[in-house]
Structure 1
């Protein structure tokens, strides 16, 4: 979809189907800021369907045409149907329409128009001629009347949306260090959000199992909470998805914005290495909805429902969504297990205690263009999940047969937007989120990898240590306000302010003694406030774009730590810190441009890092904030359209020089987040792609090389100075190929076979300096492939899709997240319906 650069409501008088060619205006007639809509210059006839003509039927069909900068129709979509015969007649003919392209400041640009085509019969042609007054002889029997010839049909251009580039391409060519990924194709596949992101350059996504398992995200060498996730600009964990981005249904997301290293001030975020913003689709006029159902290996089923109603462009609207997931995750893994004689042997078994269930939904209602507000909306949401715990972080030792954890969340948000003048805009958001996290480890039994109870323990608790039955409660109050002021047509000033207050407490129901103090019962608070001021300049007819920004960070943590004596020790921390940066984009030669960006970034410790996650990660109240100098430099090309197809490419280099880097470290059950005194990541990434003429074949590939090393000469990891950080891949490669075969069975269908591949080079699980060469813990190189085929057809305003997919084609042994084995070959089937 093309975003609106300028919208023109054009109610034009009726024009014949084959208008005479119109000469384009002279360049001197078009002011630099003037927007000129496209005009049709072809002589293509739209045939009247014979059956409808004979039956005397008339109809109106509304099309949405996408027109490129050469005036060629690249897409034709029926927005309002009048039946298959009428729809097919105009849609087929419209593909041959040619236009004088839309222009902005005299420059031809791509655009979308809504075209209303009216099929009308000629009343005069259908009238029976009068009989003569007299006849010399009896008249012969009247001949059967022929169907009247239709008059020239009417066409009206209802709305023209002119855009120099698509929204994704506009952001990509801005000064921001961002990549925009459309989920249009992913929504038709059996992939989750983690797989979509993992296919992008500079990104690695790793998890400790199948659907619902712990997931780890890395962007340009920085990992986990160092990268902030948002849903429509609101922190993801405060939007109903506190259990990870990979569990957000792909079908509820329209596009993904990946900000590398430099995060715009409008997010009000303290991210260290970047941000990912998931955006939902804009609500269309009328009633619209979609449903998808996916099923496949390991007892996995995923259901997504979404819909909305917007009766008019102004006034009330509402939309809602629902998702439900369930899986057994009983795929096969290779482990060591003792036989009847006690000898340890290698066996292949099914996971027996790794199930996952999730349910969630949300509702939004609001008003648009209400006079006192451009938009005001109230959102409510709720979600929850339950997850079996099969083993520890590194899949070592025996399995767990009864340990489990889960979370429930709910919240609300109030959004307000208003443009007070053409130059001054304001938006604000206030919200509340509540979350409860449960963890139970009370089983007295020891299990083997076949799911059998081997013996009874002396003390309950499978994870080691004492039995646990606990709940953590967390409340968050947050806000965000953004104001922008267009100083001149080429200069904009923006101010953002985002405070957040989070409070946590808990209860342990299995204390060693009723008289013992509960270490979870202490109130623990974190208050943060991020303020950003940003200035943007566009100069030399958009050849140069410059963004300069400053950020202010306030941080206050209040906590109490239980001492061995039973007394409480206050562990408070306050911080005030400044940061900032700049980004520049320069067009050096059409279509090539360069981008350079820098940020002195700060990230404040999160709740789970300071206070533990209530499951396998313990508290560390001495954590310090992270800081980093982030640099990006890149060379890219706008989509290059040639007779051989469309070419695209991008090459980026990056550097991350971090201090007090926070990383997860430990063994068995004793895992904590710790500060590395210093670390640096250097890397290069590139992406290239080609689409064949006519769009029947698309090929894309990307690669990432990153060198992430410890620069600490003192502290906990001082002995490993100069070594690569453990358990982090350093060479990644992705490739995809897709066919697009249209008109296979009907004029409104598409068959899309596809293939994807991912290569991860081998790496150390621990510090490279530990152990002899033959005893180092390593993860071998991995190459995984997937293939499938999708089919989509439009029928009477409905879009029906069906896809089948085979993951891990070669059944390769794949490992992630400290050596946890991933699923092998698996098959999936997904059906979607949209209207």
Structure 2
């Protein structure tokens, strides 16, 4: 209470002791607002940048005459004289005219915004997805081309995704959608099934995540920002390609004259994922594999539906935005193999589904001359998950049931493809999220932010193959998590030095039934023992940035972070994973140091370079290890040291040609083990994690190709991944199956845009040389394949 009272008193002091203020709006010749206009006050250090609606404000000016300089790329610079001698405030409207140069206005605006984000003290790379709307890729593929980041999947479309940022991976990297954890937004929604045409930009945080976005990310995060519109908009896309893949999507938005709006997004993902892989045959007499064969994946179909509808109002004095959204999402996913690839036997019947509704209420407002900003988001979802795994048969990679020499099927004693016993599981979930963020700018160089995120998960289920008294899913399970913090950001020495300091508090409380007694065969204990766990932890970070010139800065950050155990890690999944009530949160010390430099070679050849170095020391890493026959359990195991460097170069050697090169080297070593039996692992690299990878792309645009104002763009993409071990290095032998081989992937794409910009056509060939491509545990990914995309836009 004392803290809040002090903040209120400070706010009151600042408001009542302000000097002269200028407020205004910048418009173009069509009366449309112009964002990202630089407004500089002569003979002072005061300046402002117009917001997305063209508004700006400059405060605490002395009572005298000033000259304002208004400028931006693509517009003629304007000078305006104002007299504040006898005024405490002044509200003006300025009109700027476009320069005579032929510039692409939309791209320039987006670049200005992205550059502001990329130059924060926190290590952030912001991708302007508006520039990639015509590409035949999804969000996961776009992220995979970013330096320091690697996206790995366990198969084709819809397969599980593992993101690595500067050595941290898995659950240590959190994924968000508009500031909320994406896994709670809709059933089955993730970055690998989200089309780029639904996205405005993607923010990638290396190490520190900002307070208004982050939860318990241990080594970074991904925040996907959905498209936001001010005018009526229609965007229709249809993408199709190899393996019977179809991906239509539609964006619709309408806004009335009084700023009431409705909007809807819809997309479908479907693929048979029947690409060819290298497998082995099965000899029924020897009960072993004999020869390498080329097989087609036969039980790997994936399908997802997503639809949302929004209604609200924007740009009001009492609300920047008030929006209500309802989401429906459904997925169907056949499972061809487990986490590791079995080259002899394939899963032939197991599948899972998700189905659910989510409602979201967003509200944001600014007050006190935009000094105070309040944003709140409330999300409530009801989902049903189903897992079905019950078969009496073994399948080979030819898609047939394995039979003995007499022609009779070889019996599967477990009665399943992958799980420990027959399962027809349904799980009902209710999830509530509520995030509120309040920020107050005491001055143009000082700001305080408070944020709180509360998550409540409730779970209850059933397994049709078990009697009710033997079914652990019938017991409800709950997990509450709360993330709170306060952040202070400031600018010093005429804005040359910027700082961010944050305190974070993590709390979790879990209540569920474990199977510990069953797993240990202890008949004297209650097999369905109720377990509770509740903990609170504190962490924080500091970030600094120093700007030498407009095109050269350095920045660094330090963070002490936690990653709390999740429900399935604490209490298992009631089938194959045992509970571990004593599981501790992961901890990490993160240090990032980077620099950015931009210049022009030969006077007019723009070149940009960014280099980042990173160091992490992770303790109490949560890993899943075998724990008895057909069971696994999460443990706090190794302490891991991560050190590395990543960077990129962007160069435009000639008009219409852009070249980008990104590379990452990360050395991840095990420094401490819990069990003495694992002492041989000390000093070895962490298995199943690439340590050296790079990407290169070159794009050339032909203007006025077939008609005036049309455009043809040709692009070449190259990806490289060095060989890495898929098993613990202390156990590595020369067996080729223990390694993921060196990979070279080449792809081509062509995009044609009509003069009206409404029609866009693109075609892409991935992996043109049909190289073997792998990710996790040598799970093979598609060879040569193609995609075609048609896009129609009305704006």
Structure 2 matches for 1:337-348, cutoff 5 A? 337-339=281-283, 344-348=290-294
1:599, distance to aligned residue in structure 2 (A): 0.9
Larger Rg: 1
The answer to whether the Cα contact below 8 Å between 2:559 and 2:591 also exists between their aligned partners in 1 is: yes
TM-score (normalised: structure 1): 0.80
2:264 matched residue in structure 1: 320
Gap runs ≥5 in structure 1: 15-25, 38-67, 74-97, 106-111, 118-158
- The CA distance in 1 between the partners of 2:549 and 2:489, in whole Å, is 22
The answer to whether the Cα contact below 8 Å between 2:187 and 2:354 also exists between their aligned partners in 1 is: no
Structure 1 position 484 matched with structure 2 position 439? yes
- The CA distance in 2 between the partners of 1:646 and 1:305, in whole Å, is 36
Structure 1 position 524 matched with structure 2 position 443? no
1:830 matched residue in structure 2: 789
* Closer, same or farther: CA 401–277 of 1 in aligned 2, 3 Å: same
- The CA distance in 1 between the partners of 2:176 and 2:81, in whole Å, is 33
2:540 matched residue in structure 1: 580
- The CA distance in 2 between the partners of 1:169 and 1:466, in whole Å, is 54
1:647 matched residue in structure 2: 607
1:608, distance to aligned residue in structure 2 (A): 3.6
1:647, distance to aligned residue in structure 2 (A): 0.8
**Secondary structure in structure 2 of the residue aligned to 1:237:** helix
The answer to whether the Cα contact below 8 Å between 1:304 and 1:323 also exists between their aligned partners in 2 is: yes
Structure 1 position 539 matched with structure 2 position 492? yes
**Secondary structure in structure 2 of the residue aligned to 1:818:** helix
**Secondary structure in structure 2 of the residue aligned to 1:184:** helix
- The CA distance in 2 between the partners of 1:268 and 1:104, in whole Å, is 44
- The CA distance in 2 between the partners of 1:555 and 1:209, in whole Å, is 33
Structure 2 matches for 1:508-657, cutoff 5 A? 508-511=463-466, 514=467, 516-562=469-515, 563-564=517-518, 565=523, 566-612=526-572, 619-638=579-598, 640=600, 643-657=603-617
1:676, distance to aligned residue in structure 2 (A): 2.2
1:812, distance to aligned residue in structure 2 (A): 0.4
1:9, distance to aligned residue in structure 2 (A): 4.0
Structure 2 matches for 1:222-621, cutoff 5 A? 222-240=168-186, 242-285=188-231, 287-312=232-257, 314-339=258-283, 344-396=290-342, 397-422=344-369, 423-454=371-402, 455=409, 457=411, 459=413, 460-463=415-418, 465-511=420-466, 514=467, 516-562=469-515, 563-564=517-518, 565=523, 566-612=526-572, 619-621=579-581
1:234, distance to aligned residue in structure 2 (A): 1.6
1:749, distance to aligned residue in structure 2 (A): 1.4
1:638, distance to aligned residue in structure 2 (A): 4.1
Instruction: Give CA deviations for 1:9-43 in whole Å, capped at 9, x if unaligned.
Output: 458799xxxxxxxxxxx999575436699xxxxxx
- The CA distance in 2 between the partners of 1:711 and 1:480, in whole Å, is 37
- The CA distance in 2 between the partners of 1:618 and 1:216, in whole Å, is 22
The answer to whether the Cα contact below 8 Å between 2:393 and 2:412 also exists between their aligned partners in 1 is: no
* Closer, same or farther: CA 247–489 of 1 in aligned 2, 3 Å: same
* Closer, same or farther: CA 114–825 of 1 in aligned 2, 3 Å: farther
Structure 1 position 33 matched with structure 2 position 46? yes
- The CA distance in 2 between the partners of 1:828 and 1:69, in whole Å, is 45
Instruction: Give CA deviations for 1:431-450 in whole Å, capped at 9, x if unaligned.
Output: 21222211111122222211
**Secondary structure in structure 1 of the residue aligned to 2:217:** coil
- The CA distance in 1 between the partners of 2:326 and 2:387, in whole Å, is 26
The answer to whether the Cα contact below 8 Å between 1:498 and 1:529 also exists between their aligned partners in 2 is: yes
* Closer, same or farther: CA 11–197 of 1 in aligned 2, 3 Å: closer
1:249, distance to aligned residue in structure 2 (A): 1.4
Instruction: Give CA deviations for 1:560-599 in whole Å, capped at 9, x if unaligned.
Output: 2133335332322221111111111101345211000111
Q: Once superposed, what is the RMSD of the aligned Cα atoms?
A: 3.2
* Closer, same or farther: CA 832–733 of 1 in aligned 2, 3 Å: same
**Secondary structure in structure 2 of the residue aligned to 1:167:** helix
The answer to whether the Cα contact below 8 Å between 1:236 and 1:242 also exists between their aligned partners in 2 is: no
Instruction: Give CA deviations for 1:135-158 in whole Å, capped at 9, x if unaligned.
Output: xxxxxxxxxxxxxxxxxxxxxxxx
Instruction: Give CA deviations for 1:289-317 in whole Å, capped at 9, x if unaligned.
Output: 101111110110101111101123x5311
**How many matched pairs?**
712
* Closer, same or farther: CA 791–351 of 1 in aligned 2, 3 Å: same
- The CA distance in 2 between the partners of 1:71 and 1:752, in whole Å, is 27
1:195, distance to aligned residue in structure 2 (A): 1.1
The answer to whether the Cα contact below 8 Å between 2:611 and 2:646 also exists between their aligned partners in 1 is: yes
Moved more, 389-398 or 379-388: 389-398
1:657, distance to aligned residue in structure 2 (A): 0.9
* Closer, same or farther: CA 34–826 of 1 in aligned 2, 3 Å: closer
* Closer, same or farther: CA 433–548 of 1 in aligned 2, 3 Å: same
TM-score (normalised: structure 2): 0.84
1:773, distance to aligned residue in structure 2 (A): 4.6
- The CA distance in 2 between the partners of 1:6 and 1:778, in whole Å, is 62
The answer to whether the Cα contact below 8 Å between 1:7 and 1:160 also exists between their aligned partners in 2 is: no
* Closer, same or farther: CA 190–6 of 1 in aligned 2, 3 Å: farther
* Closer, same or farther: CA 376–464 of 1 in aligned 2, 3 Å: closer
Structure 2 matches for 1:136-215, cutoff 5 A? 166-215=112-161
* Closer, same or farther: CA 670–196 of 1 in aligned 2, 3 Å: farther
1:814, distance to aligned residue in structure 2 (A): 1.0
Instruction: Give CA deviations for 1:184-238 in whole Å, capped at 9, x if unaligned.
Output: 3432121122111111111111111100111211111111221111111121112
The answer to whether the Cα contact below 8 Å between 1:36 and 1:103 also exists between their aligned partners in 2 is: no
1:640, distance to aligned residue in structure 2 (A): 4.6
- The CA distance in 2 between the partners of 1:204 and 1:606, in whole Å, is 23
The answer to whether the Cα contact below 8 Å between 2:40 and 2:48 also exists between their aligned partners in 1 is: no
